[in-house]
């Protein structure tokens, strides 16, 4: 199965829009340096010195290697986007340190080399060895593709060769699967960088043997939470740990595309459909419960602090959707990518770039208390720091989610303003500029800067009810093929009125409630913008909602304002037969991804209606 499209290389697209560009800039200036500093202060990078002894502080944890790897991946992308001699010097030092920790047989893991030297591969279900290996591989591929550096790549090829000598169905090998999936997609990336078929074959083994009887994970390790209780081709619904799931599905999509395995791709699409049609929040968040950080049942999507919707899961879903669009050409898949990217993925990091959500709740109230209620405010770091380190590598790659290429066709997936240098399969290249204020403004101009014959296409979002394209003052249909000249401009008008959204009646948490959206953005009401608790706000079904520019959020931010109803009760009785008191109230809603950037506050996405 050949790839229908391929995403643009991250460095070939330079966003200049009001939404993504400031986030990328802040990531390079703040997020990555902050994550580097945390890796130093917590002992994560020093763990590769292999000098830890019992009784010493900062005992290397089983997942620490993955944190360092993700930060190094982000460092490589940062250097490609914005060369910096000082950062490159530190990057090379970290590479040297990681390579120095590799054992003579190729094994590379700080925890099991220093803390449990006799525990290698003994508890794959829980100990993250193959997960860490996957992230180290991704860091190595990033350093090679973005910077042309081979030292870490050669090191991780040795590690992958060693892993291949251990696992598989061939004589002399043992069966084994990662408890936390990640190495599958990483091995396909390594195959892409090196052309070595062995890595693709190993990725296919980890996917195709997973869940096959006799089952390798005992019940005490909850194989269902790890998608390891049945073969992946027999799985019909997304279940188990949400991050593990989307990493697995991404690996499935990659292997299916590279090997031409149509049945595996069909299984992957079935699981993706389970997410987008029955198990995904309106923000693109996934995982309905913090217990096991997992999917639960169809339409079970609670909004408060019992939900999960981890930042890493949202970033993983963006990655999965991008792979599936490229493999199938189904533009409807990009609705999930866009919704998640603009909402559930970016809500997990502050505008300052140094504070993070682990879970991304859709409702926060003073009455919400549970074991994870401490995650209701963004934190500078977590003991389990997967989310902060994921942002270090995710944000610099946003450009690749905007454009894809197929043959000599270029496809604008998300019309964010910026510049793109795209390469065709025949070796030609084209330079384009996108202008406009998307996602706040639906008028987009696509300006061709270098001529030539090719096809230009632009996605019509699934949420869009009015989409018009014009060239030289006349209406045209997209895709449009012609011999383009420098300066040629296609104007696209995407209708984006405010919409009052209702959930499927089977989503009991949203019964009698509505959410506000405009274009790809989901909006939230923060209590700081009200003179009363947000739980008392009621949204009229025919609410007249106006657009306004916010003075206390990034320039260009469009907020929603309108008249609603405040519903309150007199007295302190626990229950009463008295009718509620209703008064008029003005409300303001901000883009969900920007909430809690003006101070700690309560918030709601789904508002009761009246």
Q: Where are the domains of the chain?
A: 404-494, 500-608
528-581 pLDDT, tens digit each: 999 999 999 999 877 689 999 999 999 999 999 999 999 999 888 999 999 999
Q: Which residue shows structure tokens 């403004």? A: 441
Q: Output the pLDDT for position 367.
A: 76
Helix (H, G, I), strand (E, B), or coil: what is residue 568? strand
Q: Is 464 a catalytic site residue?
A: no
Measured distance CA(9)–CA(15) in Å, rounded: 13
Q: How far is CA 591 from the centre of its chain?
A: 18
Q: Output the pLDDT for position 1.
A: 45
Q: Is the pLDDT of residue 372 over 70?
A: no
Question: In this structure, how many other beta carbons lie within 10 angstroms of the beta carbon of residue 437?
Answer: 16
Mean pLDDT, the chain, rounded, equals 96
Q: Output the pLDDT for position 371.
A: 53
Q: What's domain 404-494's architecture?
A: Sandwich (2.60)
Q: Output the pLDDT for position 220.
A: 87
- Residue 421 and residue 431 in contact, taking contact as beta carbons nearer than 8 Å: yes
382-434 pLDDT, tens digit each: 999 999 999 999 999 999 999 999 999 999 999 999 999 999 999 999 999 99
472-492 pLDDT, tens digit each: 999 999 999 999 999 999 999
Q: Output the pLDDT for position 373.
A: 54
Q: 3-state SS string over 150-202?
A: CHHHHHHHHHHHHHHHHECCCCCCECCCCCCCCHHHHHHHHHHHHCCHHHHHH
- List residues bridging with 444 in a β-sheet: 436, 492
Query: Pick the catalytic residue: 182, 184, 293, 363?
Result: 293
Q: Is 157 a catalytic site residue?
A: no
- Residue 130 and residue 183 in contact, taking contact as beta carbons nearer than 8 Å: yes
- Percentage of the chain beyond pLDDT 70 is 98
Helix axes 151-166, 197-208, angle to 10 degrees: 50
For residue 24, what are its two tokens? 């990328």
Q: Is the pLDDT of residue 366 over 90?
A: no
Task: Quickly state the pLDDT bin for 376 (edges 50, 70, 90).
Answer: confident
For residue 92, what are its two tokens? 């090379």
Mean pLDDT of 454-462: 98
Stated pTM of the model: 0.98
Q: How far is CA 582 from CA 149, 537, 544, 610, in A?
A: 66, 10, 18, 10
Query: Pick the catalytic residue: 312, 386, 387, 458?
Result: 386
Largest CA distance in the chain: 77
Q: Is the pLDDT of residue 336 over 80?
A: yes
180-231 pLDDT, tens digit each: 999 999 999 999 999 999 999 999 999 999 999 999 998 888 999 999 999 9
CA-based torsion, 183, 188, 192, 196: positive or negative: positive
């Amino acid at each position: 199965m050949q790839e229908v499209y391929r995403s643009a290389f991250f460095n070939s697209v330079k966003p200049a829009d009001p939404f993504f560009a400031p986030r990328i800039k802040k990531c390079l200036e703040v997020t990555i340096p902050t994550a580097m500093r945390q890796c130093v202060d917590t002992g994560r990078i020093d763990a590769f010195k292999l000098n830890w002894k019992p009784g010493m502080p900062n005992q290397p944890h089983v997942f620490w290697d993955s944190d360092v790897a993700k930060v190094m991946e982000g460092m490589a992308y940062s250097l490609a986007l914005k060369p910096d001699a000082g950062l490159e010097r530190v990057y090379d030092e970290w590479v040297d340190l990681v390579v120095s920790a590799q054992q003579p047989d190729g094994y590379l893991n700080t925890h099991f080399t220093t803390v449990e030297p006799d525990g290698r591969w003994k508890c794959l279900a829980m100990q993250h060895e193959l997960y860490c290996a996957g992230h180290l591989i991704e860091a190595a591929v990033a350093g090679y593709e973005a910077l042309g550096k081979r030292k870490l790549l050669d090191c991780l090829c040795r590690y992958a060769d060693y892993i291949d000598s251990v696992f598989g169905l061939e004589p002399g090998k043992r069966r084994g699967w990662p408890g936390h999936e990640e190495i599958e997609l990483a091995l396909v990336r390594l195959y892409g960088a090196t052309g070595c078929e062995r890595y693709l074959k190993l990725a296919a083994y980890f996917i195709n043997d997973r869940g096959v009887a006799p089952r390798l994970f005992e019940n005490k390790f909850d194989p269902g939470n790890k998608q390891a209780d049945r073969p992946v081709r027999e799985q019909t619904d997304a279940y188990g740990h949400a991050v593990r799931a989307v990493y697995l599905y991404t690996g499935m999509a990659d292997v299916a595309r590279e090997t031409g395995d149509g049945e595996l791709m069909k299984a992957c699409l079935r699981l993706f459909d389970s997410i987008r049609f029955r198990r995904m929040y309106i923000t693109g968040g996934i995982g309905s419960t913090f217990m096991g950080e997992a999917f639960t049942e169809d339409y079970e999507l609670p909004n408060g602090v019992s939900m999960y919707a981890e930042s890493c899961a949202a970033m993983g879903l963006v990655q999965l959707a991008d792979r599936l669009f490229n493999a199938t050409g189904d533009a409807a898949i990009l609705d999930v990518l866009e919704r998640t990217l603009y909402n559930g993925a970016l809500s997990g990091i502050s505008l300052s770039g140094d504070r993070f959500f682990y879970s991304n709740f859709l409702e926060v109230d003073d009455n919400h208390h549970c074991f994870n209620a401490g995650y209701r405010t963004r934190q500078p770091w977590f003991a389990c720091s997967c989310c902060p380190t994921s942002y270090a590598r995710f944000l610099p790659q946003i450009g690749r989610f905007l454009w894809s290429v197929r043959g000599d066709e270029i496809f604008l997936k998300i019309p964010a303003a910026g510049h793109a240098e795209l390469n065709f399969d025949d070796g030609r290249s084209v330079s384009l500029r996108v202008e406009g204020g998307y996602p706040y403004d639906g008028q987009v101009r696509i300006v061709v800067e270098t001529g030539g014959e090719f096809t230009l296409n632009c996605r019509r979002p699934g949420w869009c009810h009015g989409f018009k394209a014009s060239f030289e003052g006349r209406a045209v249909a997209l895709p449009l093929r012609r011999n383009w000249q420098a300066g040629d401009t296609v104007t696209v008008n995407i209708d984006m009125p405010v919409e009052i959204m209702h959930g499927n009646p089977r989503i009991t948490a949203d019964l009698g409630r509505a959410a506000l959206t405009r274009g790809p953005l989901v909006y939230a009401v923060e209590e700081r913008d009200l003179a009363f608790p947000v739980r008392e706000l009621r949204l009229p079904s025919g609410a007249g909602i106006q657009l306004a520019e916010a003075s206390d959020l990034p320039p260009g931010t469009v907020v929603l304002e309108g008249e609603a109803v405040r519903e309150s009760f007199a007295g302190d009785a626990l229950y009463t037969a008295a009718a509620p008191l209703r008064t008029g109230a003005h409300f303001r809603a901000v883009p969900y991804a920007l909430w809690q950037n003006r101070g700690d506050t309560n918030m709601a996405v789904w508002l009761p209606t009246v």
